[in-house]
């Protein structure tokens, strides 16, 4: 079984999404159908009674999504659903007269196999009576269908019952085609990002070209989303062979004397878990060395997903507290030589526990960034000295972080400079830690000052190295 955290969550049925808070970021307006709805409600004012629309659309075209979200784009429209299994007559009798525009959707009766002829006739008689009553004068009833035989049967009976006055549209059956194909890739991208912590399709190994190719073979928007989901999950299934050797969770820890680096880290990551965003990384850097990588962002996006690649910011006060409280004799010797304070910090455990690294190691998502007071001149000077030590002896402060994480109960064990050998490639992880039997490779980026492009270059380079060790890249 593939790790569920690697799976692309991309439903092709609206029912799964109806109550999700991300809905506003997913649904796009279908302007032609909205214009039809506008025309119907405008005509109600002049006709003096309600109307009915038979909405014919293929399965997966997006009828349910459209009808369920009309009020998102037309806030003055009240939506009412008559679910399958509930009597149309009983539902309509329970509605009171209203001055607001009201859209009533007859759900779950889209094909003759789902609804008996007696129910159709009874429902249409109830609809005709309701629309002519004071309670129905501001109502538009829509009966969606995905088959021609039901559409024809509805139109035939409606014509017998209410003649042309019952059907609001000029054509007896309104053809709903859903969003145009030119928007399908955008819809898939937006839905993927909204439901998967900001991930793009490239994070699941799907290139722009491949996403467009899938449009050409899909029969409907729902079918397209299903194909995208299956392709993305097939890609993650293929590279999950990395688990056989060891799934290298690669987390880059950015520690800089420049206190502005937190914003750069946030700009290169997505979601509350600070996961690497490959598209942003490639946008942030123009390095010639990455030119070949930029030609296949989906390959590196998928690698970043499987490696659980993240970028984490550690603030100066936490870094100094860790060094002072958990540094060994060799580190403190280097600190004393530079005139640094080596007195243990009483807040060291608290800082490492509540900081980004501690929260993420414990599986907690990051909240909204909170700006603290600016570091004083003494802190900045001490931080520059610590970075200077890391420049030539990075294993010393890295070991201090291992000790701090263990002392805080966040990890069980750690190894400094753990060798990584595979496929003829040799690398070393700055700090390998284990928590609950799961391993994490922490790569520390100690810098005086660091910008977005510097971080991007560093992270992509690390991903390439780990990709070669695991055999994913050659």
pLDDT-based confidence at 372, cuts 50/70/90?
low
Q: Where are the alpha helices (DSSP H) in 268-376?
A: 278-284, 291-294, 297-306, 316-326, 329-337, 348-354, 356-361
Q: Are 373 and 460 in a shared domain?
A: yes
Residue 61 lies in a domain: yes
Residue ending a domain, choose from 122, 143, 175: 175
Q: Are 73 and 157 in a shared domain?
A: yes
Residue 25 pLDDT > 90: no
Residue 392 lies in a domain: yes
Q: Are 311 and 364 in a shared domain?
A: yes
**pLDDT tens digits, 196-216:** 878 888 888 888 889 999 999
* pLDDT in the model for residue 99: 87
Residue ending a domain, choose from 175, 197, 228: 175
Residue 217 pLDDT > 80: yes
Residue 151 contacts residue 56 (beta carbons within 8 Å): yes
pLDDT-based confidence at 244, cuts 50/70/90?
very low
pLDDT-based confidence at 218, cuts 50/70/90?
very high
Q: Are 282 and 315 in a shared domain?
A: yes
Residue 386 contacts residue 397 (beta carbons within 8 Å): yes
Q: How many percent of the chain have pLDDT more than 70?
A: 91
pLDDT-based confidence at 301, cuts 50/70/90?
confident
**pLDDT tens digits, 451-464:** 999 999 999 888 88
* pLDDT in the model for residue 445: 97
* pLDDT in the model for residue 456: 92
pLDDT-based confidence at 376, cuts 50/70/90?
confident
Residue 1 lies in a domain: no
Residue 95 pLDDT > 60: yes
Q: Which two tokens stand for residue 24?
A: 């506003």
pLDDT-based confidence at 241, cuts 50/70/90?
very low
Range of the domain at 214: 181-238
pLDDT-based confidence at 373, cuts 50/70/90?
low
* CA nearest neighbour of 300 among 470, 441, 453, 463: 463
Alpha-carbon gap, residue 107 to 48, rounded angstroms: 26
Q: Are 38 and 154 in a shared domain?
A: yes
Q: Are 234 and 249 in a shared domain?
A: no
Alpha-carbon gap, residue 95 to 116, rounded angstroms: 24
Residue 259 lies in a domain: yes
* pLDDT in the model for residue 283: 85
**pLDDT tens digits, 131-159:** 999 999 999 999 999 989 999 999 888 88
State how far the alpha carbon of 51 is from the alpha carbons of 39, 48, 139, 340, 432, in Å.
11, 10, 7, 81, 68
Q: Where are the alpha helices (DSSP H) in 338-416?
A: 348-354, 356-361, 377-393, 395-407
Backbone torsions φ then ψ of 165, nearest 5 degrees = -70, -25
* pLDDT in the model for residue 245: 43
Q: Are 335 and 224 in a shared domain?
A: no
Q: Are 105 and 171 in a shared domain?
A: yes
What's the average model confidence in pLDDT over 392-397?
96
Q: How many percent of the chain have pLDDT more than 90?
A: 55
* Mean of per-residue pLDDT scores for the chain: 88
H or E segment at 342? none
Residue 153 lies in a domain: yes
Q: Are 106 and 196 in a shared domain?
A: no
- Most confident of the ranges 44-58, 230-244, 296-310: 44-58
Q: Are 279 and 218 in a shared domain?
A: no
* pLDDT in the model for residue 200: 85
Residue ending a domain, choose from 156, 175, 194: 175
**pLDDT tens digits, 253-295:** 999 997 678 999 999 998 888 999 888 888 887 666 567 677 7
- Window from 68-72, 233-237, 313-317, 377-381 with minimum mean pLDDT: 233-237
Alpha-carbon gap, residue 45 to 160, rounded angstroms: 24
Residue 10 lies in a domain: no
Residue 19 lies in a domain: no
* pLDDT in the model for residue 434: 94
Sole residue written with tokens 């910008």: 451
Higher-confidence residue of 346 and 49: namely 346
Report the domain count for the chain. Answer: 3
* pLDDT in the model for residue 1: 44
pLDDT-based confidence at 6, cuts 50/70/90?
confident
Enumerate helices (H) and strands (E) in the chain, giving the number of each.
22, 12
Residue 172 pLDDT > 90: no
**pLDDT tens digits, 420-429:** 776 667 788 9
Q: Are 234 and 326 in a shared domain?
A: no
What's the average model confidence in pLDDT over 21-44?
88
CATH number at residue 169: 3.40.50.300
Alpha-carbon gap, residue 177 to 289, rounded angstroms: 46
What's the average model confidence in pLDDT over 363-374?
71
């Amino acid at each position: 079984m593939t790790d569920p955290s690697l799976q692309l969550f991309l439903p092709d049925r609206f029912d799964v999404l109806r109550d999700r808070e991300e809905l506003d970021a997913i649904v796009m307006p279908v302007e032609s159908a909205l214009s039809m709805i506008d025309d119907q409600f405008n005509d109600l004012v002049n006709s003096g009674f309600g109307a009915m629309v038979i909405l014919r659309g293929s399965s997966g075209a997006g009828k349910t999504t459209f009808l369920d979200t009309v009020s998102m784009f037309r806030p003055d429209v009240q939506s009412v659903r008559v679910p399958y299994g509930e009597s149309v007559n009983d539902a309509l009798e329970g509605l009171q007269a209203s001055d607001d525009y009201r859209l009533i959707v007859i759900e779950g009766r889209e094909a003759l196999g789902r609804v008996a002829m007696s129910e159709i006739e009874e429902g249409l008689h109830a609809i005709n009576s309701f629309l002519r009553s004071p309670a129905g004068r501001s109502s538009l009833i829509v009966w969606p269908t995905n088959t021609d035989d039901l559409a024809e049967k509805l139109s035939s009976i409606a014509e017998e019952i209410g003649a042309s006055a019952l059907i609001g549209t000029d054509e007896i059956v309104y053809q709903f085609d859903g969003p145009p194909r030119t928007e399908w890739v955008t819809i898939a991208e937006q839905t993927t990002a909204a439901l998967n912590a900001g991930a793009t399709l490239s994070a699941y190994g799907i290139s722009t070209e491949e996403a467009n190719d899938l449009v050409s073979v899909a029969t409907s928007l729902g079918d397209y989303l299903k194909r995208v989901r299956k392709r993305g999950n097939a890609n993650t299934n293929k590279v999950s062979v990395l688990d056989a050797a060891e799934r290298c969770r690669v987390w880059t820890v950015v520690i800089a004397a420049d206190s502005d680096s937190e914003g750069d880290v946030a700009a290169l990551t997505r979601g509350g878990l600070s996961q690497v965003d490959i598209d942003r990384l490639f946008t942030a850097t123009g390095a010639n060395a990455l030119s070949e990588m930029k030609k296949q962002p989906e390959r590196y996006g998928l690698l970043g997903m499987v490696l659980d690649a993240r970028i984490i910011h550690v603030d100066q006060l936490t870094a100094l507290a860790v060094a002072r409280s958990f540094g060994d004799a060799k580190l403190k010797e280097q600190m004393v030589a530079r005139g640094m304070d080596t007195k243990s910090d009483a807040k060291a455990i608290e800082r490492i526990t509540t900081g980004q690294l501690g929260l993420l190691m414990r599986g907690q998502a990051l909240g909204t960034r909170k700006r603290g007071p600016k570091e004083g001149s003494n802190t900045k000077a001490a931080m520059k000295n610590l970075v200077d030590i890391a420049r030539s002896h990075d294993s010393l402060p890295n070991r201090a972080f291992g000790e701090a994480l263990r002392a805080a109960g966040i990890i069980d064990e750690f190894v400094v400079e753990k060798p990584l050998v595979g496929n003829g490639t040799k690398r070393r992880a700055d700090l390998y830690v284990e928590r609950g039997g799961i391993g994490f490779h922490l790569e520390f980026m100690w810098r005086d000052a660091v910008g977005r492009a510097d971080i991007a270059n560093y992270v992509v380079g690390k991903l390439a190295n780990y990709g070669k060790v695991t055999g994913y890249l050659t």
